[in-house]
Structure 1
């Protein structure tokens, strides 16, 4: 993570995403712009929550870890999205792990300034309420997705979500199996099936997506987004 000192760019993001009314004038000087590289963690499950982040460019992956060490993907997020909203409202540690799938730009603000200059600002509170309630709906959908849909659909959805820019993907089969909630052996069989159907090509160290439309058809719109 690195802070980008560029007020004009910050203001452009605010205008582009129509957030002018959300922030009070006293709060504006305390907003910062942060850049995260692809693969970098924005936050980890259980870390202390001190900042609220607003995704204004790029794509994020959100996943959770069980006490047994298993990982399960929850969703992928594109702008406009908020990270740390529930944690800010409840005053708790980060609930999930959030990772940059692509280069990411975030607006960040420390909790102390948010409480001081935005704690009673109705447009900001309504904005956070809308974000939080939408997340609960999407979480229910995500959990149902992992339980109800076959591995073929889950893998197609996963590949679509992580290949929104690149078609050559460096993925760990073991990690992917954990993320979509299946076994390494089963996922290997499905990858072989996808190769035979011409959807992907498996090369040493990475997977080449060959048929995005075919993956979309298989996913049937039931993706992690």
Structure 2
């Protein structure tokens, strides 16, 4: 992680996302810009929260641990997302792991500043309410996917959700099948069978080190409109 205090850089994100409407005294808040590389952990499940994070560039993956020690995928997040709101309000340790899946930037406000100033700011609290409501909605969707969808449907949902970084009808390289299988709550063997089935149906085409999505529309049909986001 790298930290920037460059005013012009921070102010450009405040302007881009109209954050002046979120913070009544935005120009007196000591923002940091935290920069994470792909695969770097932003928040680690079980750690103590150090502040509020606002995703302003890039993409993150949110997962939660299960009893077997494996992780289960909850959602992918895009700007503008907020992290740390649940932990701040409930006064608990970090509930889910947040990991950068691309080069990612987040505006950060330290916990002390949030508690002393922002928790009395009705604009900020109104924004938190919006994001908490959205998280409740996405948690309902992810529960439906993880509990009721077949592995084939879950894999289709995973691919459709991540389409922006790969693009349909383009080659997808270096997929970590065991990791994806774990995130989808299945085994590597079962997921490979699903990939073989989709390949036989002409939806995917296996290639060395990955595969090509041929029929994006059919993959979208299998996903039934559900998304990990």
In structure 1, the partner of 2:140 is 140
Q: Aligned pair 1:215/2:222, yes or no?
A: no
User: Structure 2: where are the runs of 5+ without partners?
Assistant: none
The alpha-carbon deviation at position 119 of structure 1 amounts to 1.8
Contact 1:87 1:94 in 2 (8 A): yes
Moved more, 156-165 or 131-140: 156-165
Partner of 2:47: 47
Structure 1 partner of 2:16 = 16
Contact 1:27 1:118 in 2 (8 A): no
Q: How far apart in 2 are the matches of 1:144 and 1:164?
A: 23
TM-score (norm 1): 0.92
Q: Trace 1:1-225 onto structure 2 (pairs within 5 A).
A: 1-25=1-25, 28-166=28-166, 167=170, 168-225=172-229
Structure 1: 5+ residue stretches without partners? none
Q: Secondary structure at the match of 1:222?
A: coil
SS state at 2:117 partner = helix
Q: CA deviation at 1:130?
A: 1.6
Q: Using the alignment, how far apart are the partners of 2:44 and 2:211 within structure 1? A: 27
User: In structure 2, how many angstroms separate the alpha carbons of the residues matched to 1:159 and 1:184?
Assistant: 16
Would you say the 8 A contact 1:57–1:105 is kept in 2? yes
What's the secondary structure of 1:54's corresponding residue? strand
Q: Quote how far apart the aligned CAs of 1:76 are.
A: 0.9
SS in 1 for 2:76: strand
Q: CA RMSD in A?
A: 1.8
- The alpha-carbon distance between structure 1 residues 5 and 199, as it changes in their structure 2 partners (threshold 3 A), is farther
The DSSP-based 3-state class of the residue aligned with 2:82 is strand
Q: CA deviation at 1:124?
A: 0.4
For the residues of structure 2 that align with 1:164 and 1:28, how far apart are their CA atoms?
Answer: 36
- State the alpha-carbon separation in 2 of the partners of residues 195 and 223 from structure 1: 22
CA gap 1:129/1:27 in 2 versus in 1, 3 angstroms: farther
